[in-house]
Structure 1
Amino acid sequence: MSLDNVRLSQPAKDQLIKLKRITGIKNWNTLCRWALTLSLHDPSPPLVRDINTDSNVEMSWKTFAGKYSDIYLVLLKQRCLADGQEPTEENLFHTLTIHIHRGIGHLAGRQGLKSISDLISLAAT
């Protein structure tokens, strides 16, 4: 497994479709960035450890991270170290996957999330 491609599960895809409709954000990668940073902000480990990436939502690392790829990579490495894992390619990929999925779940479950301004307010807290 490598960071070259980011794949999502079918439930995550369904939640992203809902989030796209609610927020007006058109791109998967933008919502996945929000989800990742939201999840990484939570110091507790995600409950789900194995995720079946069975949907047709797939993006390259370059598309996911964009011009901030170095920053996202450092955040993932830092999280691996904080969780007592060596930041190997496999551990980085696993950390990315579980945190994107937890973040998507948190965003999709927020009752007050109705627009992009609500996402910005969420980030400010």
Structure 2
Amino acid sequence: MNGKNNASSGDSGPSRDKSSIIILIISTSLVILILSGILFYRDELFVITDKIRDWITFNLNWYYVFFSLLCVCSCIYLHFGRYKDIRIGGKNARPKYTDFSWYSMLFACGQGVGLIFWCLNSDNKCTTHG
């Protein structure tokens, strides 16, 4: 390379380093702010999140159901529609994982999400009702 930025080499240099540092500082500050709010204002946060959850459940329930249905219908259309034969990666590309591997990963992710949700939720129920 002759020192010039090449289209294939990507954007590198001082401006990218500066923006990365700014993003790091902002995201770290937000995480620290949120965590300190959770640690120091636990009871107030519980009341606020409970009100937000109740409002979303009462006012946006059908929007959630409609959006979920829209996502499922979009996936069905993409699977059975005219775009079903598009191969990402080119004509000779082959998948890295088998179908069984994908279904196993999806199952494991679903189990992990459920485990984390119920572990956190059970602690919350025990401390507020007992």
Could you say which TM-score interval applies, normalised by the shorter chain? under 0.3
Task: Using structure 1 for the length normalisation, give the TM-score.
Answer: 0.24
Q: Comparing both chains, which one has the higher relative contact order based on Cα–Cα distances under 8 Å and sequence gaps of 6 or more?
A: 1
Rg (Cα) greater in structure: 2
